[in-house]
């Protein structure tokens, strides 16, 4: 039987900072505990029930909640880097969307995969079509220009344009994304 160290937090919790706030580590939906550089923080906002508004904080682009007596000052953070997704109905169109965005420096790179099968409702009917997916890597600063570029080049009436924040990445790669999308 293990004995608790006096002053140590209960199992599944960790003391943090000068005020000795307790970070609660919530289990991942799979039952595993989230492990990694910011393990106690990373899973809190995503895996648990909503917590009182006085519990909040952030690390990088992650929002997490901690038990604290301090008032809530920031609910969300904005990611500095994004992946942006669109689809089109031909490999040649995907190539044109990808290369024109990289040439315009609104994306550092674009990956094309497909064909994929898309099932969707359009004008009241369920459609099934073959499409190609284009995944761009860019900065949040360049997103408005990338979105405008996709809308201008794309031939769909309502192109899919979905941005997902990049919460972690290698410093070297993310620096390269910044350099390749820098204005000027």
Could you tell me whether strands 81-88 and 21-24 are parallel, antiparallel, or unpaired per DSSP bridges? unpaired
* CATH tag for 81-181 (out of 3.20.20.70, 3.40.50.1000, 3.30.590.10, 3.30.70.120): 3.30.70.120
pLDDT-above-70 percentage for the chain = 58
* C-alpha to C-alpha distances, 121 to 33, 75, 124, 126, 170, nearest whole angstrom: 38, 34, 6, 4, 38
Sequence-distant (6+) residues with CB within 8 A of 25 are 12, 13, 14, 33, 34, 39, 40, 43, 44
* Confidence bin at 78 (pLDDT 50/70/90): low
Whether the predicted pLDDT of 49 surpasses 50: no
- C-alpha span between 118 and 87 (Å, rounded): 9
* Confidence bin at 179 (pLDDT 50/70/90): very high
Locate 146 and state its tokens: 């990338």
CB 121 within 8 A of CB 129: no
pLDDT tens by residue, 143-170: 999 999 999 999 999 999 999 999 999 9
- Per-residue confidence (pLDDT) for residue 13, from 0 to 100: 42
User: In whole angstroms, what separates CA 162 from the centre of its chain?
Assistant: 11
H helices, E strands: number in the chain: 5, 8
Model-level pTM greater than 0.85? Answer: no
Whether the predicted pLDDT of 100 surpasses 60: yes
Domain range summary for the chain, segments of one domain joined by +:
13-64, 81-181
Whether the predicted pLDDT of 181 surpasses 70: yes
Provide the β-strand partners of residue 125.
122
* Confidence bin at 184 (pLDDT 50/70/90): confident
């Amino acid at each position: 039987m293990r004995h608790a160290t006096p002053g140590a937090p209960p199992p599944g919790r960790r003391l943090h900072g000068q005020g000795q706030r307790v970070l609660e580590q919530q289990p991942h939906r799979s039952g595993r505990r989230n492990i990694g550089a910011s393990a106690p923080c990373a899973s809190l906002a995503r895996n648990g029930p909503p917590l009182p508004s006085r519990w909040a904080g952030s690390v990088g682009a992650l929002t997490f909640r901690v038990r604290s007596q301090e008032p809530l000052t920031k609910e969300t953070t904005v990611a500095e880097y994004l992946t942006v997704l669109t689809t089109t109905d031909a490999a040649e169109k995907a190539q044109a969307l990808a290369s024109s965005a990289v040439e315009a420096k609104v994306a550092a790179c674009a990956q094309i995969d497909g064909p994929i099968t898309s099932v969707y409702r359009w004008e009241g009917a369920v459609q099934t079509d073959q499409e190609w997916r284009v995944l761009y890597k860019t900065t949040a600063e360049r997103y408005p220009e990338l979105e405008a570029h996709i809308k201008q080049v794309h031939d769909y009436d309502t192109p899919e344009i979905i941005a997902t924040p990049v919460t972690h990445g290698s410093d070297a790669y993310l620096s390269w994304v910044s350099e390749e999308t820098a204005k000027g």
